[in-house]
Amino acid sequence: FTPSHASPDDFRQCLTASGVPCPLVYEQSSPSFTPLLLSSIMNQRFTANTTVRPRWIIAPTNASHVQAAVVCGRRHGVRIRVRSGGHDYEGLSYSSRRPETFAVVDLSSLRAIHVDRQNSTAWVESGATLGELYYAVAQASGNQLAFPAGLCPTIGVGGHLSGGGFGTLLRKHGLAADNVLDAVLVDAMGRVLDRDAMGEDVFWAIRGGGGESFGVVLSWQVRLVPVPPTVTAFRIPVTVDDGAIDAVTRWQEVAPAFPDDLFVRVLLQNQTATFEALFLGTCDALLPVMRCRFRELGMRMNRTDCQEMTWIQSVPYFGMGAGATVEDILNRTAATKAYTKMTSDYVRQAIHRDTWESIFSGWLAKPEAGIMILDPYGAAIAGVPEAATPFPHRAGVLYNIQYVNLWFVAGGGAAQMRWVRDLYAFMEPYVTSSPREAYFNYRDLDLGENVVAGNVSSYEGGKVWGEKYFRDNYRRLAAAKDTIDPEDYFRNEQSIPPLGASK
């Protein structure tokens, strides 16, 4: 692969000659180009005119169109970026930090879902959203099965499953990536490979290491999990004046050790800690657990706090605004679009009460403050060995912290971005170190970007961000990259470099 010096027409003509119908290829000059580009951009920071945009968007309707995009891209020096749901925090599925001629392969038309009720499995194409998957599984199984993945129903299956993926079922059933049984990938040669054909190292790599480094994942076979007819959700705000600091301090110890059918997360905003929970059972079974194991919250709970529902009803409850219905989770554009800055941390040792006090009185009291979201780990997610998938944040992790800030005015956000960065710096002594761990699906380019040497991303250069996301699994990811894409065709600012000369 050599970067493009060819005429742009060559790429386009190659696509046509390879059977990609003209209406599926959008040039920048086409009136439909910008609406299609913007259609699934979640982070509005990357809608600005200064963002490096693709030269073409290809919207494949079958596998051969994806193969043609890759083969023509390589032949004519055009890189491709793959977009499924467009939720990447740094916009890497449709934009570039550096000037570059590239095409986006937008998979949103490839979103078929086939549920095999008998075997509790499903095949899902990457362009489906989590909401579409959850809905199809609930329908086909009469609400008896679900899939353990993220809370926001508009997330794309392609990016989410390949980057890990966790939500309310994580303590009972682990990550989305832990429940992948097979996948179909178009590699840099344009070949269509299933699990057997891609080999176990590549199959290992795309379950948490990010699909974009290895090819285009067309579809996934997933294991579905049983859910009871009734689940219980609650959302209880506790203010600082009412004991939030003690409750959060205690939560750190109890939430990762709860029975695996109880998930209690905390959102810290302003002077309030809001405890949100999903319990795989009834309110009658939940209340004694809360009162015995987490008195700071349990003793103030009563039946009116509980909302009993089916699991599929819990999806809009957690992932959408008040009043959203189960049908609303099928709306691919329902999510509120904002300008955002996010990053993440992991905590292996509970943070002292005094620190929580200064977080509330200092950081969360600022006018530009955002939100801290604490998701408890333990149980199933901790039961998987660290090397079983690229996702290494397993046994010993108490919880994940996500720092979130958003704003709604173009060109604004300087104070909000600074808040995230300064709070991240402040948290250093209290979170994991050497490496300071981060969650790959909460991508943050502040952690580092690839260094390209000799037209290949450098393995050594990638360590700075790679070991934060993957710890020791970074090296094995680079080895897998070496076997499937040694020339580094599938590349972005945080793609896995080939191990190459570092072998």
Binding site for ligand FDA (CB under 6 A): 42, 81-89, 92-93, 107, 126, 150-152, 155-156, 158-160, 162-167, 211-212, 216-217, 335, 441
Q: Please report how close the Cβ of residue 345 comes to ligand FDA at its closest, in angstroms.
A: 15
Q: Which is nearer to ligand FDA, 57 or 92 (CB)?
A: 92
Q: Please report how close the Cβ of residue 437 comes to ligand FDA at its closest, in angstroms.
A: 15
Q: Please report how close the Cβ of residue 111 comes to ligand FDA at its closest, in angstroms.
A: 11
* E-only strand ranges, 254-338: 262-269, 272-279, 307-309
Long-range contacts of 381-387 (CB under 8 A, 24+ apart): 381/166, 381/170, 381/171, 381/174, 381/175, 381/178, 382/256, 383/174, 384/174, 384/178, 386/471, 386/472, 386/473, 387/472, 387/473, 387/476
Q: Which is nearer to ligand FDA, 289 or 324 (CB)?
A: 324
Q: Please report how close the Cβ of residue 92 comes to ligand FDA at its closest, in angstroms.
A: 4
| Sheet strands side by side (includes 231-239) | 307-309, 231-239, 272-279, 262-269, 371-376, 399-407, 339-347
Which two structure tokens, joined as six digits, stand for 297?
């919250």
Q: Please report how close the Cβ of residue 487 comes to ligand FDA at its closest, in angstroms.
A: 17
Residue at token pair 């086939």: 114
Residue at token pair 């909401």: 131
Distance CA 198, CA 213 (A): 14
List Cα–Cα distances, 370 to 267, 357, 417, in angstroms.
10, 17, 9
Nearest residue to 219 via CA among 251, 182, 247, 253? 182
Q: Which is nearer to ligand FDA, 167 or 256 (CB)?
A: 167
Q: Please report how close the Cβ of residue 18 comes to ligand FDA at its closest, in angstroms.
A: 20
Q: Which is nearer to ligand FDA, 189 or 289 (CB)?
A: 189
Q: Which is nearer to ligand FDA, 127 or 435 (CB)?
A: 127
Q: Which is nearer to ligand FDA, 249 or 492 (CB)?
A: 492
User: Residue 453 in contact with residue 501, Cβ under 8 Å?
Assistant: no
Q: Please report how close the Cβ of residue 375 comes to ligand FDA at its closest, in angstroms.
A: 8
Instruction: For helices 130-141 and 311-319, give the axis angle rounded to 10 degrees.
Output: 160
Q: Which is nearer to ligand FDA, 93 or 458 (CB)?
A: 93
